[in-house]
Amino acid sequence: MKAQFLQGNEACALGALAAGCRFFAGYPITPSTDIAEVLARQLPKVGGKFVQMEDEIASIAAVLGASVGGLKSMTATSGPGFSLMQENIGYAAMAEIPCVIVNVQRAGPSTGLPTSPSQGDVMQARWGSHGDHPIIALSPSTVREAFDLTVWAFNLSEKYRTPVILLMDEVVGHMRERTELPPPESIEVVDRVKPNVPPNWYFPYEETSADVPPFASFGEGYRFHITGLFHDRAGFPTQRLDEIQPWLDRVFNKISRHEDDIIRLGQEWVEDAATVVVAYGATARSAREAVKSARQRGRKVGLIKLFTLWPFPERIFRRLARQGKRFVIAEMNLGQLSLELERAVGRQRVQGVHRADGQLITPDEILEATRRRRMR
């Protein structure tokens, strides 16, 4: 297709449309509002619905209702709004309702710096809602990746009947790049599996070999119960341990058993590297420049750019640690995903480069960290 000069938020909105998104509910908040503005114009053109809600709590509730009604649904927000959505994200995990939540991160806490970048919501994406449940979270670092990962977020959500979080940041959301989007016919679009049994035989939470039960839409003749309580295979509340534990096992297994399908990352110069720089989002752009500079100086430094933040690619890093590699992780927070990396490979192998003041981490800061011989 013809190259365009696109903004990251615009690419995200176009990716949603390409994936089949037909419902968006949201509330304006910097720096994500451009996504809502694009979809407000474009969704009606393809028979979709756009609703500006009174707040973020209502927005995520409307998204879940639309998804249950059969529409691929999305909302977009930033830190304060993401905090308000946590209870209903947990509800989506419990009720296994597919949806996509875009969080264009800004510096915080609280109102923070609304127009400045951050990657401070990484742990909130994983643990923000109470209770135990898995989550999928993705992170783009370019405008084209914002398009591709939005499509992929919808595909994963529909495939695994789960909420998926797209963790962008202000830099990726607002920057513009020359971008060539793929032809529509080349884009893989995954739809939820529908039941192939009569309504009176259908159980919305039945055990299956794929760990993901078919999902009927309300209005199609399938009547079933949805609750935030632990439930049996028919969706009705239960306190029976022989029904609760199998549900927990299945919901975690549908992610853990398919990590090879869910986890994506990019690698450059890793095989011969003594030190591997790990980064994601806008910080990965600085990291790549730092690694290129190190290689030009003859130093064995490699790069891993994470597209999937959750589930964390623990097995990959453990394998690299067994090869004797050290790690530098750069992120715009005071150390969040670095905790996962330390847990996987040991604290002595990890050097963090962190800042949470609303400023980008520079290539020079990362390059300097790769020179340090003594890791903390």
pLDDT tens string 301-349? 999 999 999 999 999 999 999 999 999 999 999 999 999 999 999 999 9
Res 4 pLDDT > 70 = yes
Determine how β-strand 136-138 pairs with β-strand 176-179. unpaired
Tell me where in the chain the CATH 3.40.50.920 domain(s) lie. 266-371
Banded model confidence at residue 174, pLDDT cuts 50, 70, 90: very high
Return the HEC string of 155-193: HHHHHHCCEEEEEEEHHHHHCEEEECCCCHHHCCCCCCC
Region of 245 on the Ramachandran plot (φ > 0 left; ψ -120 to 50 alpha; else beta): alpha
Q: What angle do CA 26, 28, 34 make, to 5 degrees?
A: 95
Res 184 pLDDT > 50 = yes
Closest C-alpha to 35, from 121, 146, 186 = 146
Residues 6+ away with beta carbon under 8 Å from 137: 122, 125, 126, 164, 165, 166, 167, 308, 309, 310
Give the mean pLDDT of 41-47.
98
Average pLDDT of the chain is 97
To the question of domain 4-186 being in CATH 3.90.120.10, the answer is no
Tell me where in the chain the CATH 3.40.50.970 domain(s) lie. 4-186
pLDDT tens string 193-235? 999 999 999 999 999 999 999 999 999 999 999 999 999 999 9
Query: What are the two backbone dihedrals, phi and then psi, of residue 304, each rounded to the nearest 5 degrees?
Result: -120, 120
* Amino acid 375: pLDDT: 47
* Amino acid 2: pLDDT: 80
Query: What are the two backbone dihedrals, phi and then psi, of residue 353, each rounded to the nearest 5 degrees?
Result: -120, 110
Look at the chain and count its residues. Answer: 376
Rounded distance, CA 251 to CA 124, Å?
20
pLDDT tens string 275-311? 999 999 999 999 999 999 999 999 999 999 999 999 9
Question: How many CA atoms does the CB half-sphere of 233 hold within 13 Å?
Answer: 13
Residue with token string 């789960």: 162
Region of 131 on the Ramachandran plot (φ > 0 left; ψ -120 to 50 alpha; else beta): left
* Amino acid 373: pLDDT: 61
Rounded distance, CA 127 to CA 18, Å?
30
**Fold entry, domain 266-371:** Rossmann fold (3.40.50)
Region of 70 on the Ramachandran plot (φ > 0 left; ψ -120 to 50 alpha; else beta): left
Cα→Cα distances 44→38, 67, 70, 305, Å: 11, 17, 17, 36
pLDDT tens string 72-119? 999 999 999 999 999 999 999 999 999 999 999 999 999 999 999 999
> Hey, what are 13's tokens?
């909105």
